[in-house]
Amino acid sequence: MRARAPASSANLGPGFDVLALALALYVEVEIVPAEWLSLCSEGEGANLECDEHHLAARVASAVRGHDRFAIRVRSEIPVGRGLGSSAALTVAAAAAAGAADPLKVAVGFEGHPENAAASFRGGLVSAALLDTGPVVRRFPLDPALAFVVLVADRELLTVEARGALDAKVPHGDAVFNLSRMGLLLAGLADHTVLIGAAGEDRLHQSQRLHLFPEASELLARLMKAGALVSCWSGAGPSLLGICDGPSAAAHVRDAGEAALEALGVPGRALVLSPDLEGLIVER
């Protein structure tokens, strides 16, 4: 069985651990019966150990209850860059292993639902963990929008990024984020009302800045180049620019590449379309 799942950009500024957007970078997992476990990985993440500790192997073993299969992983999603690589891989591996509910399996491994939800459903999603399990809802996404991602050539582990967060959130900061999230959802549905303030956040981005000190300047340069909103992608270090169409996105991408070079940050800038299909399974 073969399954494909897209990358995702989570949080989107104020939507910490709730919002995510599926993006057109993909991981494909193929699983076939075999006498013993074997795993082959191509593309992004190919340098990881291909043994029973690989995430795809652990997910497939959990779903099937044994490890008598061969796995092939092909990925375009940079690992440890805030683009939901582990969530996409977990969703795809669970589906390729035959899971009845790949999203539930993925959330069990991830611990938080938004990246896996976007990889599973596609588009712009909000996700919540209820007593009955993960619940996902899609929001309208203006087709005029295009997205620029600055992918810094450095890894930022999610566990490290989460360790930088404050244990308690002041009431004012919670209200601040909720108000911006409302503006963001309205603007993503209709780009003509999308404003830069919709990407503002007080819950995670400033707390993580010491892990990627160049981020503030890079985000400012994306806005100066024409992005409607700029924010961290997930836990970083990738940064997201939301743009009014492909032409504007191309200009923002070029400015982003120049900014990376000027600040001495190795990396690249990509123009990406949203993925609206989510998980695709071929039997």
Asked if residue 206 and residue 117 are part of one domain, the reply reads no
Asked if residue 233 and residue 165 are part of one domain, the reply reads yes
Question: What is the structure's pLDDT at 189?
Answer: 98
Distance CA 126, CA 97 (A): 26
Residue 275 φ/ψ region, left for φ over 0, alpha for ψ in the -120 to 50 degree band, beta for the rest: beta
Question: What is the structure's pLDDT at 209?
Answer: 84
Average per-residue pLDDT for the chain: 95
* CATH classification of the domain holding 234: 3.30.70.890
Asked if residue 131 and residue 13 are part of one domain, the reply reads yes
Asked if residue 168 and residue 227 are part of one domain, the reply reads yes
Q: Per-residue pLDDT tens for 169-215?
A: 899 999 999 999 999 999 999 999 999 999 999 999 988 888 899 99
Q: Per-residue pLDDT tens for 68-122?
A: 999 999 999 999 999 999 999 999 999 999 999 999 999 999 989 999 999 999 9
Residue in 172, 164, 265, 274 with CA at minimum distance from that of residue 216: 265
List 3's β-bridge partners, or say none.
29, 281
Distance CA 227, CA 244 (A): 7
**Strand-pair category, 267-272 with 133-139:** unpaired
Query: Total structural domains in the chain?
Result: 2
Whether the predicted pLDDT of 158 surpasses 80: no
Asked if residue 121 and residue 38 are part of one domain, the reply reads yes
Q: Per-residue pLDDT tens for 236-258?
A: 899 999 999 999 999 999 999 99
Asked if residue 247 and residue 191 are part of one domain, the reply reads yes
pLDDT confidence band for 228 (50 / 70 / 90):
very high
160 token code pair: 């490290």
Q: How much of the chain is helix, strand and coil, in % rounded to 5?
A: 35, 30, 35
Asked if residue 195 and residue 90 are part of one domain, the reply reads no
Residue in 77, 58, 79, 80 with CA at minimum distance from that of residue 67: 58
170 token code pair: 């002041």
Which helix (H) or strand (E) element contains residue 42? strand 38-43
Asked if residue 150 and residue 132 are part of one domain, the reply reads no
143: CB partners within 8 A, 6+ apart:
none
* CATH classification of the domain holding 62: 3.30.230.10
Asked if residue 126 and residue 186 are part of one domain, the reply reads no
Are the C-beta atoms of 92 and 279 separated by less than 8 Å? yes
Asked if residue 211 and residue 92 are part of one domain, the reply reads no
Asked if residue 172 and residue 247 are part of one domain, the reply reads yes
Instruction: Give the residue numbers spanning the domain of 186.
Output: 145-272
What's the pTM value of the predicted model, to 2 decimals? 0.94
Residue 7 DSSP SS3: strand
Asked if residue 87 and residue 33 are part of one domain, the reply reads yes
Question: What is the structure's pLDDT at 283?
Answer: 79
- Phi, psi of 184, deg, nearest 5: -65, -45
52 token code pair: 């029973």
C-alpha pair distances (Å), 97 with each of 28, 72, 143, 277:
12, 12, 33, 20
